[in-house]
Chains A and B, each alone.
Chain A
Amino acid sequence: MAELFSLTGHDLLRRIERGEVASSSILDSVFARIDRVDTKVNAVVKVNRQQSDIAPKTGRLAGIPVLVKDNICVKGEETTCSSRILEGFRPPYDATVVKKLKDEGALLIGKANMDEFAFGSSCETSCYGPTRNPWDLERIPGGSSGGSAAAVAADETIMALGSDTGGSIRQPAALCGVVGLKPTYGRVSRYGLIAFASSLDQIGPITKDVEDAALLLGVIAGYDEMDSTSVDVPVPDYTRSLQKDVKGLRIGVPREYFVKGIDPEVEEAVRRGIEVLKELGAKVSEIHLPHTEYAVSTYYIIGPAEASSNLARFDGVQYGYRDKDADNIIDMYVRTRSKGFGAEAKRRILLGTYCLSSGYYDAYYLKALKVRTKIKEDFDEAFRSCDCIITPTSPTPAFKIGEKTGDPLSMYLSDVYTIPANLAGLPAISVPCGFSSEGLPIGLQIMAKPFDEETIFRVAYTFEQATDWHKRKPML
Protein backbone atom coordinates (compact mmCIF):
# COMPACT_ATOMS: atom_id res chain seq x y z
CA MET A 1 0.00 0.00 0.00
CA ALA A 2 1.10 3.57 -0.69
CA GLU A 3 2.51 5.53 2.25
CA LEU A 4 -0.26 7.56 3.91
CA PHE A 5 1.68 10.84 3.54
CA SER A 6 1.60 10.46 -0.25
CA LEU A 7 -2.21 10.36 -0.49
CA THR A 8 -4.72 13.12 -1.18
CA GLY A 9 -7.18 14.46 1.38
CA HIS A 10 -10.28 13.07 -0.34
CA ASP A 11 -8.68 9.62 -0.60
CA LEU A 12 -7.76 9.66 3.11
CA LEU A 13 -11.23 10.87 4.12
CA ARG A 14 -12.77 7.89 2.34
CA ARG A 15 -10.31 5.52 4.03
CA ILE A 16 -11.07 7.06 7.45
CA GLU A 17 -14.78 6.72 6.78
CA ARG A 18 -14.38 3.04 5.86
CA GLY A 19 -12.41 2.52 9.07
CA GLU A 20 -9.25 1.52 7.21
CA VAL A 21 -7.10 4.33 8.55
CA ALA A 22 -6.93 6.26 11.82
CA SER A 23 -6.07 9.96 11.77
CA SER A 24 -3.30 9.26 14.30
CA SER A 25 -1.53 7.05 11.73
CA ILE A 26 -1.86 9.80 9.11
CA LEU A 27 -0.26 12.24 11.54
CA ASP A 28 2.55 9.82 12.36
CA SER A 29 3.19 9.25 8.68
CA VAL A 30 3.29 12.98 7.89
CA PHE A 31 5.55 13.83 10.87
CA ALA A 32 7.93 11.02 9.93
CA ARG A 33 8.03 12.36 6.37
CA ILE A 34 8.80 15.89 7.63
CA ASP A 35 11.60 14.48 9.80
CA ARG A 36 13.03 12.63 6.83
CA VAL A 37 12.93 15.26 4.07
CA ASP A 38 12.60 18.73 5.57
CA THR A 39 16.30 19.08 6.34
CA LYS A 40 16.66 19.11 2.54
CA VAL A 41 13.56 21.11 1.56
CA ASN A 42 13.22 23.59 4.48
CA ALA A 43 9.51 24.09 3.79
CA VAL A 44 8.21 23.73 7.35
CA VAL A 45 9.31 26.34 9.90
CA LYS A 46 7.35 25.04 12.87
CA VAL A 47 5.86 21.62 13.56
CA ASN A 48 3.01 21.31 16.02
CA ARG A 49 3.36 17.76 17.33
CA GLN A 50 1.03 18.40 20.27
CA GLN A 51 -2.24 17.72 18.46
CA SER A 52 -5.01 18.30 20.94
CA ASP A 53 -7.66 15.65 21.45
CA ILE A 54 -10.40 18.23 21.31
CA ALA A 55 -10.35 18.35 17.50
CA PRO A 56 -13.83 17.27 16.41
CA LYS A 57 -13.93 13.76 15.02
CA THR A 58 -16.50 14.80 12.49
CA GLY A 59 -16.38 17.50 9.87
CA ARG A 60 -15.48 17.90 6.24
CA LEU A 61 -11.74 17.64 6.96
CA ALA A 62 -11.79 15.49 10.10
CA GLY A 63 -8.36 13.98 10.66
CA ILE A 64 -6.66 15.64 7.68
CA PRO A 65 -3.30 17.42 8.29
CA VAL A 66 -3.11 20.98 6.94
CA LEU A 67 0.00 23.17 6.90
CA VAL A 68 -0.59 26.92 7.16
CA LYS A 69 1.59 29.68 5.69
CA ASP A 70 3.40 31.61 8.40
CA ASN A 71 1.48 34.85 7.73
CA ILE A 72 -1.82 33.34 8.92
CA CYS A 73 -2.52 33.69 12.65
CA VAL A 74 -2.96 30.55 14.72
CA LYS A 75 -3.81 31.29 18.34
CA GLY A 76 -0.83 30.70 20.61
CA GLU A 77 1.43 29.45 17.78
CA GLU A 78 4.38 31.63 16.81
CA THR A 79 3.47 33.49 13.59
CA THR A 80 6.30 35.51 12.06
CA CYS A 81 5.79 36.06 8.30
CA SER A 82 9.35 34.67 8.15
CA SER A 83 10.54 38.03 9.45
CA ARG A 84 12.82 38.84 12.36
CA ILE A 85 10.60 41.78 13.29
CA LEU A 86 7.80 39.39 14.34
CA GLU A 87 9.99 36.91 16.22
CA GLY A 88 8.18 35.47 19.21
CA PHE A 89 4.76 36.80 18.16
CA ARG A 90 2.02 34.46 19.36
CA PRO A 91 -1.35 35.69 18.08
CA PRO A 92 -4.06 36.03 20.73
CA TYR A 93 -6.69 34.85 18.22
CA ASP A 94 -7.22 32.49 15.27
CA ALA A 95 -7.56 33.73 11.71
CA THR A 96 -11.08 33.03 10.40
CA VAL A 97 -9.73 30.41 7.97
CA VAL A 98 -7.95 28.68 10.86
CA LYS A 99 -11.10 28.68 12.95
CA LYS A 100 -13.02 27.18 10.02
CA LEU A 101 -10.38 24.47 9.56
CA LYS A 102 -10.50 23.60 13.26
CA ASP A 103 -14.31 23.52 13.23
CA GLU A 104 -14.21 20.98 10.38
CA GLY A 105 -11.76 18.74 12.22
CA ALA A 106 -8.59 19.54 10.24
CA LEU A 107 -5.29 19.05 12.10
CA LEU A 108 -3.04 22.12 11.99
CA ILE A 109 0.37 20.51 11.85
CA GLY A 110 2.53 23.61 11.62
CA LYS A 111 3.64 26.67 9.71
CA ALA A 112 5.11 26.92 6.22
CA ASN A 113 8.15 28.93 5.16
CA MET A 114 7.59 31.97 2.93
CA ASP A 115 9.27 35.04 1.54
CA GLU A 116 9.50 37.67 4.28
CA PHE A 117 6.04 39.30 4.53
CA ALA A 118 5.24 37.51 1.23
CA PHE A 119 7.62 39.83 -0.64
CA GLY A 120 9.16 37.63 -3.28
CA SER A 121 8.74 35.04 -5.99
CA SER A 122 11.38 32.58 -4.80
CA CYS A 123 11.11 32.01 -1.04
CA GLU A 124 14.69 33.28 -0.69
CA THR A 125 13.95 36.30 1.53
CA SER A 126 12.84 34.25 4.56
CA CYS A 127 14.65 34.76 7.86
CA TYR A 128 14.63 30.95 8.14
CA GLY A 129 16.67 30.53 4.96
CA PRO A 130 15.41 29.55 1.51
CA THR A 131 13.00 26.72 0.81
CA ARG A 132 14.27 24.37 -1.90
CA ASN A 133 12.33 22.93 -4.81
CA PRO A 134 11.65 19.21 -4.17
CA TRP A 135 12.19 18.51 -7.90
CA ASP A 136 15.70 20.01 -7.83
CA LEU A 137 17.17 21.12 -4.52
CA GLU A 138 19.42 23.68 -6.24
CA ARG A 139 16.35 25.55 -7.45
CA ILE A 140 13.76 27.83 -5.88
CA PRO A 141 10.22 26.54 -5.17
CA GLY A 142 8.65 29.84 -6.26
CA GLY A 143 7.12 32.30 -3.85
CA SER A 144 5.95 33.69 -1.77
CA SER A 145 4.00 30.59 -0.60
CA GLY A 146 7.05 28.49 -1.51
CA GLY A 147 7.02 26.56 1.76
CA SER A 148 3.35 25.59 1.36
CA ALA A 149 3.84 24.44 -2.26
CA ALA A 150 7.12 22.61 -1.63
CA ALA A 151 5.64 20.86 1.42
CA VAL A 152 2.65 19.61 -0.60
CA ALA A 153 4.94 18.48 -3.45
CA ALA A 154 7.28 16.72 -1.01
CA ASP A 155 4.34 15.03 0.79
CA GLU A 156 5.21 16.77 4.07
CA THR A 157 1.53 17.62 4.47
CA ILE A 158 -1.72 16.52 2.89
CA MET A 159 -2.97 20.05 2.15
CA ALA A 160 -1.74 23.59 2.71
CA LEU A 161 -2.96 27.16 2.79
CA GLY A 162 -1.08 29.94 1.03
CA SER A 163 -1.79 33.58 0.29
CA ASP A 164 -1.66 35.24 -3.12
CA THR A 165 -1.08 38.96 -3.72
CA GLY A 166 0.53 38.83 -7.17
CA GLY A 167 0.80 35.10 -7.82
CA SER A 168 2.13 33.82 -4.51
CA ILE A 169 -0.09 30.71 -4.52
CA ARG A 170 -0.16 29.94 -8.26
CA GLN A 171 3.49 30.51 -9.21
CA PRO A 172 4.97 28.22 -6.50
CA ALA A 173 2.23 25.64 -7.22
CA ALA A 174 3.30 25.68 -10.89
CA LEU A 175 7.01 25.46 -10.08
CA CYS A 176 6.47 22.58 -7.61
CA GLY A 177 3.99 20.62 -9.75
CA VAL A 178 0.94 20.94 -7.49
CA VAL A 179 -2.48 22.65 -7.61
CA GLY A 180 -2.87 26.21 -6.28
CA LEU A 181 -5.98 28.39 -6.34
CA LYS A 182 -6.32 32.13 -5.72
CA PRO A 183 -10.02 32.69 -5.04
CA THR A 184 -12.00 35.75 -6.11
CA TYR A 185 -11.18 38.89 -4.12
CA GLY A 186 -13.71 38.82 -1.27
CA ARG A 187 -14.41 35.05 -1.44
CA VAL A 188 -12.28 34.14 1.61
CA SER A 189 -11.96 36.19 4.81
CA ARG A 190 -8.54 37.72 5.45
CA TYR A 191 -9.19 38.27 9.17
CA GLY A 192 -5.99 37.06 10.79
CA LEU A 193 -3.94 37.17 7.59
CA ILE A 194 -1.05 39.57 8.24
CA ALA A 195 -1.67 42.15 5.52
CA PHE A 196 0.68 42.80 2.59
CA ALA A 197 -1.47 44.66 0.03
CA SER A 198 -5.07 44.82 1.18
CA SER A 199 -6.67 45.41 -2.22
CA LEU A 200 -4.95 42.30 -3.64
CA ASP A 201 -4.39 39.67 -0.89
CA GLN A 202 -6.41 36.44 -0.88
CA ILE A 203 -5.93 33.19 1.04
CA GLY A 204 -6.31 29.97 -0.94
CA PRO A 205 -5.62 26.22 -1.11
CA ILE A 206 -2.44 24.46 -2.29
CA THR A 207 -3.16 20.76 -2.79
CA LYS A 208 -2.15 17.57 -4.59
CA ASP A 209 -5.13 17.60 -6.91
CA VAL A 210 -8.16 19.62 -8.00
CA GLU A 211 -10.66 17.69 -5.86
CA ASP A 212 -8.73 18.60 -2.69
CA ALA A 213 -8.64 22.25 -3.77
CA ALA A 214 -12.43 22.23 -4.16
CA LEU A 215 -12.84 20.55 -0.78
CA LEU A 216 -10.53 23.00 1.01
CA LEU A 217 -12.00 26.11 -0.64
CA GLY A 218 -15.46 24.96 0.39
CA VAL A 219 -14.31 24.96 4.00
CA ILE A 220 -12.52 28.33 4.08
CA ALA A 221 -14.81 30.40 1.80
CA GLY A 222 -17.64 32.61 2.96
CA TYR A 223 -18.67 35.98 4.30
CA ASP A 224 -17.09 37.09 7.56
CA GLU A 225 -18.17 40.14 9.52
CA MET A 226 -14.57 40.46 10.73
CA ASP A 227 -13.35 41.26 7.18
CA SER A 228 -15.22 44.18 5.65
CA THR A 229 -13.93 43.23 2.19
CA SER A 230 -15.38 39.73 2.31
CA VAL A 231 -18.43 39.53 0.07
CA ASP A 232 -21.76 38.03 1.07
CA VAL A 233 -22.18 35.57 -1.79
CA PRO A 234 -23.42 32.04 -0.95
CA VAL A 235 -20.73 29.33 -1.03
CA PRO A 236 -21.69 26.58 -3.47
CA ASP A 237 -20.71 22.95 -2.96
CA TYR A 238 -17.57 23.09 -5.10
CA THR A 239 -17.22 19.32 -5.20
CA ARG A 240 -20.31 19.31 -7.43
CA SER A 241 -18.30 21.21 -10.05
CA LEU A 242 -15.91 18.29 -10.39
CA GLN A 243 -17.38 17.05 -13.67
CA LYS A 244 -15.54 15.68 -16.65
CA ASP A 245 -17.22 17.91 -19.16
CA VAL A 246 -16.05 20.92 -21.14
CA LYS A 247 -18.28 20.45 -24.20
CA GLY A 248 -19.16 23.80 -25.67
CA LEU A 249 -17.18 25.69 -23.04
CA ARG A 250 -15.59 28.80 -24.52
CA ILE A 251 -11.88 29.12 -23.71
CA GLY A 252 -10.04 32.36 -24.49
CA VAL A 253 -6.29 32.31 -25.07
CA PRO A 254 -4.78 35.80 -24.83
CA ARG A 255 -2.22 36.54 -27.53
CA GLU A 256 -0.36 38.90 -25.17
CA TYR A 257 0.66 36.02 -22.86
CA PHE A 258 2.67 34.22 -25.54
CA VAL A 259 5.32 36.82 -26.31
CA LYS A 260 9.04 37.44 -25.82
CA GLY A 261 10.33 36.10 -22.52
CA ILE A 262 8.33 32.88 -22.40
CA ASP A 263 10.34 29.66 -22.25
CA PRO A 264 9.59 27.60 -25.41
CA GLU A 265 9.03 24.45 -23.34
CA VAL A 266 6.46 26.29 -21.18
CA GLU A 267 4.64 27.55 -24.27
CA GLU A 268 4.60 24.07 -25.80
CA ALA A 269 3.27 22.40 -22.63
CA VAL A 270 0.52 24.99 -22.19
CA ARG A 271 -0.52 24.86 -25.87
CA ARG A 272 -0.63 21.06 -25.67
CA GLY A 273 -2.80 21.40 -22.54
CA ILE A 274 -5.23 23.66 -24.40
CA GLU A 275 -5.38 21.07 -27.21
CA VAL A 276 -6.40 18.41 -24.66
CA LEU A 277 -9.42 20.52 -23.67
CA LYS A 278 -10.23 21.26 -27.30
CA GLU A 279 -10.28 17.54 -28.10
CA LEU A 280 -12.74 17.11 -25.21
CA GLY A 281 -15.13 19.55 -26.86
CA ALA A 282 -14.13 23.01 -25.64
CA LYS A 283 -14.21 25.89 -28.13
CA VAL A 284 -10.88 27.68 -28.15
CA SER A 285 -10.39 31.17 -29.54
CA GLU A 286 -7.67 33.80 -29.41
CA ILE A 287 -8.54 36.87 -27.36
CA HIS A 288 -6.89 40.19 -26.55
CA LEU A 289 -5.94 41.67 -23.21
CA PRO A 290 -4.20 44.74 -24.61
CA HIS A 291 -2.97 46.20 -21.30
CA THR A 292 -1.19 43.04 -20.16
CA GLU A 293 2.27 44.56 -20.60
CA TYR A 294 1.43 47.25 -18.03
CA ALA A 295 0.33 44.86 -15.29
CA VAL A 296 3.74 44.40 -13.65
CA SER A 297 4.34 48.16 -13.45
CA THR A 298 0.87 48.75 -12.05
CA TYR A 299 1.36 46.02 -9.46
CA TYR A 300 4.80 47.19 -8.38
CA ILE A 301 3.31 50.59 -7.54
CA ILE A 302 0.06 49.48 -5.87
CA GLY A 303 1.55 46.48 -4.02
CA PRO A 304 4.48 48.30 -2.39
CA ALA A 305 2.34 51.41 -1.73
CA GLU A 306 -0.18 49.39 0.25
CA ALA A 307 2.61 47.36 1.88
CA SER A 308 4.47 50.46 3.05
CA SER A 309 1.28 51.56 4.77
CA ASN A 310 0.44 48.12 6.23
CA LEU A 311 3.97 47.62 7.54
CA ALA A 312 3.94 50.91 9.42
CA ARG A 313 2.41 48.95 12.31
CA PHE A 314 5.68 47.11 12.93
CA ASP A 315 7.29 49.62 15.24
CA GLY A 316 8.36 47.64 18.30
CA VAL A 317 5.48 48.84 20.48
CA GLN A 318 2.86 46.07 20.59
CA TYR A 319 4.55 42.85 19.47
CA GLY A 320 7.64 41.30 17.97
CA TYR A 321 11.19 42.60 18.01
CA ARG A 322 12.23 45.86 19.70
CA ASP A 323 15.68 47.42 19.71
CA LYS A 324 16.47 48.02 23.36
CA ASP A 325 19.21 50.65 22.99
CA ALA A 326 17.09 53.60 21.83
CA ASP A 327 16.58 56.51 24.23
CA ASN A 328 13.65 58.19 22.50
CA ILE A 329 10.65 56.88 20.63
CA ILE A 330 11.58 57.93 17.08
CA ASP A 331 14.98 56.34 17.54
CA MET A 332 13.28 53.19 18.82
CA TYR A 333 11.06 53.00 15.70
CA VAL A 334 14.01 53.56 13.36
CA ARG A 335 16.38 51.08 15.02
CA THR A 336 13.68 48.42 15.43
CA ARG A 337 12.58 48.63 11.80
CA SER A 338 16.10 48.90 10.39
CA LYS A 339 17.24 45.78 12.25
CA GLY A 340 13.95 43.87 12.08
CA PHE A 341 13.16 44.07 8.35
CA GLY A 342 15.16 42.21 5.70
CA ALA A 343 16.47 43.72 2.45
CA GLU A 344 13.45 43.06 0.22
CA ALA A 345 11.01 44.36 2.83
CA LYS A 346 13.05 47.57 3.08
CA ARG A 347 13.15 47.88 -0.71
CA ARG A 348 9.36 47.59 -0.98
CA ILE A 349 8.73 49.97 1.92
CA LEU A 350 11.01 52.55 0.27
CA LEU A 351 9.42 52.05 -3.16
CA GLY A 352 5.89 52.26 -1.77
CA THR A 353 6.63 55.28 0.39
CA TYR A 354 8.19 57.02 -2.63
CA CYS A 355 5.12 56.33 -4.80
CA LEU A 356 2.82 57.72 -2.09
CA SER A 357 4.95 60.70 -1.08
CA SER A 358 4.05 64.29 -1.73
CA GLY A 359 4.93 65.28 -5.31
CA TYR A 360 4.91 61.70 -6.65
CA TYR A 361 1.47 60.45 -5.57
CA ASP A 362 -0.36 61.52 -8.73
CA ALA A 363 2.43 60.48 -11.08
CA TYR A 364 2.74 56.96 -9.69
CA TYR A 365 0.03 55.80 -7.30
CA LEU A 366 -2.97 57.53 -8.87
CA LYS A 367 -1.70 56.70 -12.36
CA ALA A 368 -1.43 53.01 -11.39
CA LEU A 369 -5.01 52.99 -10.04
CA LYS A 370 -6.21 54.35 -13.38
CA VAL A 371 -4.27 51.78 -15.40
CA ARG A 372 -5.74 49.15 -13.09
CA THR A 373 -9.16 50.24 -14.38
CA LYS A 374 -7.98 49.65 -17.97
CA ILE A 375 -6.66 46.18 -17.06
CA LYS A 376 -9.94 45.28 -15.37
CA GLU A 377 -11.89 46.52 -18.40
CA ASP A 378 -9.79 44.24 -20.65
CA PHE A 379 -11.08 41.25 -18.67
CA ASP A 380 -14.70 42.51 -18.61
CA GLU A 381 -14.53 42.74 -22.40
CA ALA A 382 -12.84 39.33 -22.79
CA PHE A 383 -15.42 37.56 -20.63
CA ARG A 384 -18.18 38.72 -22.99
CA SER A 385 -16.90 36.14 -25.47
CA CYS A 386 -15.41 33.39 -23.30
CA ASP A 387 -16.15 31.47 -20.10
CA CYS A 388 -12.55 31.13 -18.96
CA ILE A 389 -9.07 32.22 -19.96
CA ILE A 390 -6.10 29.86 -20.17
CA THR A 391 -2.46 31.00 -19.98
CA PRO A 392 0.86 29.80 -18.63
CA THR A 393 1.23 30.37 -14.86
CA SER A 394 4.89 31.34 -14.98
CA PRO A 395 7.04 32.27 -18.00
CA THR A 396 9.78 29.80 -16.99
CA PRO A 397 10.19 26.70 -14.85
CA ALA A 398 11.98 27.07 -11.48
CA PHE A 399 15.21 29.07 -11.64
CA LYS A 400 18.35 28.48 -9.60
CA ILE A 401 18.71 29.70 -6.01
CA GLY A 402 20.59 33.01 -6.11
CA GLU A 403 20.01 33.51 -9.83
CA LYS A 404 17.79 36.59 -9.50
CA THR A 405 18.49 37.91 -6.01
CA GLY A 406 20.88 40.60 -7.28
CA ASP A 407 18.36 41.94 -9.81
CA PRO A 408 14.99 42.66 -8.17
CA LEU A 409 13.41 43.81 -11.44
CA SER A 410 14.02 40.46 -13.16
CA MET A 411 12.50 38.75 -10.11
CA TYR A 412 9.43 41.01 -10.34
CA LEU A 413 8.96 40.15 -14.02
CA SER A 414 8.50 36.45 -13.16
CA ASP A 415 5.00 37.39 -11.90
CA VAL A 416 3.90 38.74 -15.28
CA TYR A 417 1.13 36.14 -15.91
CA THR A 418 -0.27 35.95 -12.40
CA ILE A 419 -0.51 39.64 -11.45
CA PRO A 420 -3.47 40.58 -13.71
CA ALA A 421 -5.90 38.27 -11.83
CA ASN A 422 -5.03 40.05 -8.57
CA LEU A 423 -5.44 43.51 -10.07
CA ALA A 424 -8.84 42.53 -11.53
CA GLY A 425 -9.90 40.48 -8.45
CA LEU A 426 -10.48 37.31 -10.51
CA PRO A 427 -10.23 33.69 -9.37
CA ALA A 428 -7.37 31.74 -10.97
CA ILE A 429 -5.89 28.28 -10.55
CA SER A 430 -2.60 26.68 -11.56
CA VAL A 431 -2.60 22.98 -12.45
CA PRO A 432 0.34 20.82 -13.55
CA CYS A 433 0.53 20.50 -17.37
CA GLY A 434 3.94 19.03 -18.11
CA PHE A 435 7.65 18.96 -17.38
CA SER A 436 10.67 20.64 -18.94
CA SER A 437 13.47 18.59 -20.49
CA GLU A 438 15.31 19.09 -17.17
CA GLY A 439 12.43 17.45 -15.31
CA LEU A 440 10.96 20.64 -13.82
CA PRO A 441 7.17 21.05 -13.46
CA ILE A 442 5.19 23.46 -15.64
CA GLY A 443 1.82 24.97 -14.69
CA LEU A 444 -1.24 25.99 -16.67
CA GLN A 445 -3.39 28.86 -15.37
CA ILE A 446 -7.17 29.04 -15.69
CA MET A 447 -8.90 32.35 -14.89
CA ALA A 448 -12.65 32.96 -14.69
CA LYS A 449 -15.17 35.69 -13.85
CA PRO A 450 -15.45 36.89 -10.25
CA PHE A 451 -17.14 34.26 -8.04
CA ASP A 452 -17.08 31.69 -10.83
CA GLU A 453 -14.69 29.26 -9.14
CA GLU A 454 -17.10 26.55 -10.30
CA THR A 455 -16.06 26.94 -13.95
CA ILE A 456 -12.41 26.87 -12.88
CA PHE A 457 -12.93 23.60 -10.99
CA ARG A 458 -14.85 22.05 -13.88
CA VAL A 459 -12.14 22.88 -16.44
CA ALA A 460 -9.26 21.99 -14.11
CA TYR A 461 -10.85 18.70 -13.10
CA THR A 462 -11.59 17.72 -16.70
CA PHE A 463 -7.99 18.51 -17.63
CA GLU A 464 -6.58 16.63 -14.66
CA GLN A 465 -8.66 13.52 -15.34
CA ALA A 466 -7.42 13.51 -18.94
CA THR A 467 -3.74 13.81 -17.96
CA ASP A 468 -1.54 12.37 -15.24
CA TRP A 469 0.97 15.17 -14.61
CA HIS A 470 -0.36 15.66 -11.08
CA LYS A 471 0.44 12.06 -10.16
CA ARG A 472 4.19 12.39 -10.63
CA LYS A 473 6.24 12.74 -7.48
CA PRO A 474 9.75 14.12 -6.95
CA MET A 475 12.49 11.74 -5.78
CA LEU A 476 13.58 12.78 -2.30
Chain B
Amino acid sequence: MPLIDKRIVKHVALLSRLELNDRELELYSSQLASIIGYISKLNEIDTTNVPPTSHAASNLKNVFRKDVLRQSLDIKDVLSNAPARYDNFFKVPQVIEGK
Protein backbone atom coordinates (compact mmCIF):
# COMPACT_ATOMS: atom_id res chain seq x y z
CA MET B 1 0.00 0.00 0.00
CA PRO B 2 1.46 3.42 -0.88
CA LEU B 3 2.05 5.70 2.10
CA ILE B 4 0.43 8.57 0.28
CA ASP B 5 -1.86 8.71 -2.76
CA LYS B 6 -4.09 11.21 -4.55
CA ARG B 7 -6.95 10.67 -2.15
CA ILE B 8 -4.78 11.51 0.86
CA VAL B 9 -3.16 14.50 -0.88
CA LYS B 10 -6.62 15.84 -1.68
CA HIS B 11 -7.60 15.55 1.98
CA VAL B 12 -4.36 17.20 3.16
CA ALA B 13 -4.91 20.04 0.66
CA LEU B 14 -8.35 20.62 2.16
CA LEU B 15 -6.83 20.77 5.66
CA SER B 16 -4.19 23.20 4.33
CA ARG B 17 -6.78 25.46 2.67
CA LEU B 18 -5.17 24.86 -0.72
CA GLU B 19 -6.90 24.00 -3.96
CA LEU B 20 -4.97 21.78 -6.36
CA ASN B 21 -5.76 21.35 -10.04
CA ASP B 22 -5.46 17.90 -11.65
CA ARG B 23 -1.91 18.50 -12.80
CA GLU B 24 -0.81 19.67 -9.33
CA LEU B 25 -2.57 16.75 -7.66
CA GLU B 26 -0.74 14.32 -9.93
CA LEU B 27 2.63 16.04 -9.43
CA TYR B 28 2.44 16.48 -5.65
CA SER B 29 1.15 12.93 -5.13
CA SER B 30 4.17 11.44 -6.87
CA GLN B 31 6.69 13.88 -5.36
CA LEU B 32 5.31 13.49 -1.83
CA ALA B 33 5.30 9.70 -2.25
CA SER B 34 9.00 9.76 -3.04
CA ILE B 35 9.81 12.18 -0.20
CA ILE B 36 7.78 10.20 2.32
CA GLY B 37 9.34 6.98 1.05
CA TYR B 38 12.72 8.49 1.83
CA ILE B 39 11.86 9.90 5.25
CA SER B 40 10.34 6.60 6.35
CA LYS B 41 13.95 5.57 6.81
CA LEU B 42 13.53 6.82 10.38
CA ASN B 43 11.71 3.58 11.16
CA GLU B 44 15.10 1.86 11.11
CA ILE B 45 15.87 3.48 14.47
CA ASP B 46 14.53 2.05 17.71
CA THR B 47 13.20 5.03 19.66
CA THR B 48 11.54 3.12 22.49
CA ASN B 49 11.92 5.19 25.68
CA VAL B 50 13.62 8.04 23.80
CA PRO B 51 12.09 11.39 24.84
CA PRO B 52 11.12 13.79 22.03
CA THR B 53 13.12 17.02 21.51
CA SER B 54 10.84 19.82 20.36
CA HIS B 55 13.59 22.44 20.45
CA ALA B 56 17.32 22.44 21.14
CA ALA B 57 17.57 25.25 23.67
CA SER B 58 18.10 24.09 27.21
CA ASN B 59 16.64 25.83 30.26
CA LEU B 60 14.03 27.84 28.39
CA LYS B 61 11.03 28.68 30.48
CA ASN B 62 7.77 30.36 29.77
CA VAL B 63 8.08 34.11 29.70
CA PHE B 64 5.48 36.49 31.06
CA ARG B 65 5.86 40.21 30.80
CA LYS B 66 4.93 42.45 33.69
CA ASP B 67 1.27 43.39 33.68
CA VAL B 68 1.81 47.09 33.12
CA LEU B 69 0.30 49.46 30.61
CA ARG B 70 2.55 50.27 27.70
CA GLN B 71 2.41 51.63 24.20
CA SER B 72 1.16 49.23 21.51
CA LEU B 73 1.48 49.62 17.77
CA ASP B 74 -0.67 52.39 16.40
CA ILE B 75 -3.93 50.97 15.08
CA LYS B 76 -3.58 52.98 11.85
CA ASP B 77 -0.18 51.35 11.22
CA VAL B 78 -1.54 47.89 11.95
CA LEU B 79 -4.51 48.33 9.63
CA SER B 80 -2.46 49.96 6.88
CA ASN B 81 -1.59 46.55 5.43
CA ALA B 82 -5.15 45.17 5.50
CA PRO B 83 -6.52 44.17 2.07
CA ALA B 84 -9.92 45.47 3.25
CA ARG B 85 -10.98 47.33 6.38
CA TYR B 86 -14.03 48.90 7.99
CA ASP B 87 -13.46 51.48 10.72
CA ASN B 88 -10.91 49.88 13.07
CA PHE B 89 -11.58 46.35 11.86
CA PHE B 90 -10.25 43.91 9.29
CA LYS B 91 -13.05 43.32 6.81
CA VAL B 92 -13.63 39.78 5.46
CA PRO B 93 -16.30 38.06 3.33
CA GLN B 94 -19.36 36.66 5.06
CA VAL B 95 -18.52 34.11 7.78
CA ILE B 96 -21.95 32.93 8.97
CA GLU B 97 -24.53 31.71 6.48
CA GLY B 98 -28.01 33.23 6.29
CA LYS B 99 -29.55 36.68 6.32
Contact = CB atoms under 8 A, between A and B. Distances in A.
The answer on A and B forming one complex is yes
Interface string B45-85: 10100111111111110110100000001100110111110
A350 B60 contact: no
Given A327-B93, A341-B18, A409-B34, A370 B83 contact: no
B1 interface: no
B42 A297 contact: yes
Nearest to B24: A346
Interface string A224-244: 010011010000000000000
Contacts of A347: 28, 31-32
Interface string A348-377: 011101100100000010111111111010
B19 interface: yes
A128 interface: no
A300 B39 contact: yes
B22 to A, nearest CB: 14
A261 interface: no
Contacts of A312: 17
Contact of A186 (B9, B35, B50, B60): B60
A166 interface: no
Interface stretch (A272-280, A313-321, A438-446): A313-321
Interface string A324-338: 001111111111011
A142 to B, nearest CB: 21
A409 B90 contact: no
Contacts of A225: 63, 65
B17 A315 contact: yes
B54 A350 contact: no
A369 B42 CA distance: 11
Give chain B's interface residue range (CB within 8 Å of chain A): 35 or more
B90 A317 contact: yes
Given A92-B73, A370-B47, A322 B83 contact: yes
Contact of B18 (A185, A198, A337, A368): A337
A218 B83 CA distance: 39
A258 interface: no
A338 B80 contact: no
A33 interface: no
Contacts of B82: 317-319
Contacts of A315: 17
Contact of A374 (B16, B45, B59, B93): B45
A250 to B, nearest CB: 23
B81 A90 contact: yes
Nearest to B4: A354
Contact of B57 (A92, A353, A425): A425
Interface residues of A, number: 71
Contacts of B81: 88-90, 92, 318-320
Contacts of B42: 294, 297-298, 301, 367-368, 371
A250 B98 CA distance: 72
A231 B61 CA distance: 10
Contacts of B99: none
A83 interface: no
B38 interface: yes
A170 B92 CA distance: 41
A178 B54 CA distance: 32
A118 to B, nearest CB: 18
Contacts of A372: 52-53
Contact of B47 (A231, A326, A374, A423): A374
Most buried by A among B56, B63, B74: B56
A408 interface: yes
A447 B54 CA distance: 21
A328 B93 contact: yes
Nearest to B45: A371
A351 B35 contact: yes
Given A351-B32, A367-B42, A408-B35, A186 B57 contact: yes
Contact of A350 (B16, B90, B92): B16
Contacts of B9: 350, 354
A139 B42 CA distance: 33
Interface of B: 4, 8-9, 11-13, 15-20, 24, 28, 31-32, 34-36, 38-45, 47, 50-60, 62-63, 65, 73-74, 77-78, 80-84, 90, 92-95
Interface of A: 88-90, 92-93, 185-186, 198-199, 225, 228-229, 231, 291, 293-294, 296-298, 300-301, 308, 312, 315-322, 326-335, 337-338, 341, 346-347, 349-351, 353-354, 357, 364, 366-374, 376, 408-409, 412, 423-426, 450
Given A331-B93, A368-B42, 8 more contacts: A92-B80, A297-B38, A301-B39, A312-B17, A317-B82, A326-B93, A373-B51, A374-B45
